[in-house]
Amino acid sequence: MISFLIPDLNITPFEEGRATRRCVENLLDQDITEILDVVLNVLEKISVSSSADQNKLVSDGNRVLKACEKLVSMLVKPTNTTANVSFTIDTMEGLVFMVGPNATLDKIPRLDTTNSSVDIDLIGITKNNSKRSAAVTFMSFNTMENLLKPDFFNTSNDTIKTMMSTVISATLPKTTNTKLTKPVNFTLKHIREFDPSGSLSCVYWNISEWIVDGCSVLETNSSYTVCSCVHLSTFALIMQTSRPPARDSLLEMLNLVCVIVGLVFFSLALLTFTLCQWSPRVNNVARINICISLLLAHLLFLLTQQFLRLIRRHQVLCAVISGVLHFLFLSGFVWMFIEAVLLFICVKNLSQISFKKREVLSSVFLCVIGYTVALVVVAMSVGLLPEGYGSEHCWIKMDKGFIWSFLGPVCVILALNTILFINIFISLNSTLKNLNVEVSQMKQTKIMIFKTLAQFVVLGCSWILGFFTNDSKVLEILFLILNSQQGTFIFLVYCVLNNEIRQQYRKIIGSLCSGLKQH
Ligand SMILES: *[C@@H]1O[C@H](CO)[C@@H](O)[C@H](O)[C@H]1NC(C)=O
Ligand SMILES: *[C@@H]1O[C@H](CO)[C@@H](O)[C@H](O)[C@H]1NC(C)=O
Ligand SMILES: *[C@@H]1O[C@H](CO)[C@@H](O)[C@H](O)[C@H]1NC(C)=O
Ligand SMILES: *[C@@H]1O[C@H](CO)[C@@H](O)[C@H](O)[C@H]1NC(C)=O
Ligand SMILES: *[C@@H]1O[C@H](CO)[C@@H](O)[C@H](O)[C@H]1NC(C)=O
Ligand SMILES: *[C@@H]1O[C@H](CO)[C@@H](O)[C@H](O)[C@H]1NC(C)=O
Ligand SMILES: *[C@@H]1O[C@H](CO)[C@@H](O)[C@H](O)[C@H]1NC(C)=O
């Protein structure tokens, strides 16, 4: 009955006995992997629940390693030629390769697991052994980094250490002379994204810490590293990256104050725009909506940064916030574009000799356009790469080019606006030659163009500056100030520098003062 399990079909009686024994061995092998599975799972649960104590982690890690090595070495069976056993369980992959006296190999095949492989000169080792036999076990642990943490790699620099490979272990069980004839080479797949600014170390586990002695990085590219070691043991690849500079509390204070000042002026500008419909010829819709979008965006950003620690606990909330921020900032830019378009239409109307007041696009229609465009971009981004939202700061993730879902549309709008302004100037120039236009109207249009252009430059530039803040403190501060003072700027240009509104303010302040005097 047992022979039913055996793949060989022509079984002579003599061979049948051998095959049955092999089958029993196979069953034992299965038992061993089952035991391994249980042991590793239980140990991991225990360790995760008591992960605070480093000594405990180290001793648990050593126990797991020792137990696994022992169990896996039980898979080694005497063989005349070559044999191999491999198994995969949730927590590890294991592989045993055995060479006997009658092996006819000119090259030892590479021992492969999913994320790592090893090249070892087993033939040379076999020749050094009197019994002319050798065996190598190779294990790749998927979750061992929870026990043998990369932080146990003590270096002189205070760097952040990240495990870049699975923890692997290679031993030569049931082999008398385990001296290596050639360095052993491991090809390790990076299990995390490699930070090009980081430095890689091939390390081995020595009782209580990761150390480099005898191991070196042979070659590396973005997704694989080959390590070479002169001895066998437990290995890993650790990446060191420099710690981000401590958060500058002075800069944070400056940021907070600037953003709040900006928000106050945004509100004032918005209030002024909605209350004072000072000139029926000027379409305020775009300006009001720029203020609404940016006011909400800056406010949400400020609140998010203040309560970042609370928000970060809920990844979904963080992603939703970054989506909303994406939408709001984009809307601001779309409205800036609409404002330029309106200005363009206005200038075109001027240049018409018989000045027919064309029906300017209705506000409702503008609002639909203004917010739909941004919504479509966000919806497309969510559809294409939902995981792009929710960075450490609950903003768009910078890696994998996802930031272009914001910078792309912004660049397009900045380019379109530049073209529009060039067109506006050309139209204006031709209108100048046309003396039929009222001088006062001409002057007012020019002022309007200048203001819109200034707004475009200031709002657009502050974001372009954001590209380059990576390495310069001065630029970072400049970006911080420019970006937070968008509201202040809008208020200055459209309210303070506007004669009619200034007169309105004077009236209000005057009546306030006289009101105060009477009390
Ligand atoms: C392992 O053994 C199987 C047969 O049992 C064979 O097909 C395979 O090539 C062997 N693998 C290696 C790496 O030698
Ligand atoms: C590992 O790489 C080194 C350097 O390339 C080489 O000398 C050595 O023979 C390699 N070891 C094996 C087992 O292939
Ligand atoms: C790490 O190494 C430094 C010296 O380089 C030593 O002073 C320190 O005690 C070591 N820390 C641990 C945890 O081994
Ligand atoms: C660690 O410091 C040494 C000099 O002390 C430097 O050469 C090396 O690049 C530093 N490593 C990292 C990862 O910063
Ligand atoms: C192999 O590495 C990939 C990441 O590159 C990881 O997602 C996967 O879980 C790893 N598989 C094993 C068996 O370790
Ligand atoms: C651990 O390191 C010490 C020296 O730092 C060395 O003497 C010892 O042989 C190492 N142990 C192993 C298992 O490599
Ligand atoms: C990186 O190196 C590995 C092994 O050395 C190789 O298989 C892989 O193709 C390389 N990848 C790139 C992008 O060069």
For the structural domain made of 12-242, what CATH number should be given?
A: 2.60.220.50
* Cα separations in angstroms, 270 against 131, 265, 288, 289, 490: 90, 8, 6, 9, 9
Tell me if 176 sits within 8 A of 134, measured CB to CB.
no
183 lines ligand 2 (CB under 6 A): yes
- The residue to mutate among 8, 26, 84, having the most atoms of ligand 1 within 8 angstroms of its beta carbon, is 84
Domain residue spans in the chain?
A: 12-242, 251-518
Burial of 115: CB neighbours in 10 Å, binned 0-12, 13-18, 19+: middle
Tell me if 493 sits within 8 A of 458, measured CB to CB.
no
- What's the token pair of residue 334? 């779309």
Better-predicted residue by pLDDT, 361 or 480? 480
State residue 438's pLDDT score: 67
State residue 281's pLDDT score: 53
Ligand nearest to the Cα of 221, by number = 7
199 lines ligand 4 (CB under 6 A): yes
List residues near ligand 5 (CB under 6 A): 93, 114-115, 142, 166, 189, 191
State residue 167's pLDDT score: 94
Ligand nearest to the Cα of 152, by number = 3
Tell me if 236 sits within 8 A of 203, measured CB to CB.
yes
Ligand nearest to the Cα of 98, by number = 1
Could you tell me the distance, in angstroms and rounded to a whole number, from the CA of residue 97 to the centre of ligand 2?
A: 19
Could you tell me the distance, in angstroms and rounded to a whole number, from the CA of residue 416 to the centre of ligand 5?
A: 45
What does the DSSP assignment read for 112-124?
A: E-SSEEEE--HHH
Residue 225 has pLDDT above 90, yes or no: yes
User: Atom of ligand 3 at shortest distance to CA of 152?
Assistant: 13
Q: Indicate the pLDDT class of residue 359, thresholds 50, 70 and 90.
A: low
pLDDT tens column, 458-494: 877 777 776 666 667 788 888 888 888 888 888 888 8
Beta partners for residue 117, in sequence order: 112, 187
pLDDT tens column, 3-55: 333 233 333 333 344 444 444 455 567 777 788 788 777 777 766 666 567 88
The predicted model scores a pTM of 0.57
For atom 9 of ligand 4, the residue with the nearest CA is: 199
Closest CA to 241 of 294, 195, 198, 300: 198
The domain 251-518 is classified under which CATH number: 3.10.450.50, 1.25.40.10, 1.20.1070.10, 1.10.645.10? 1.20.1070.10
**Calpha distance 317→397 (Å, rounded):** 15
185 lines ligand 2 (CB under 6 A): yes
State residue 352's pLDDT score: 60
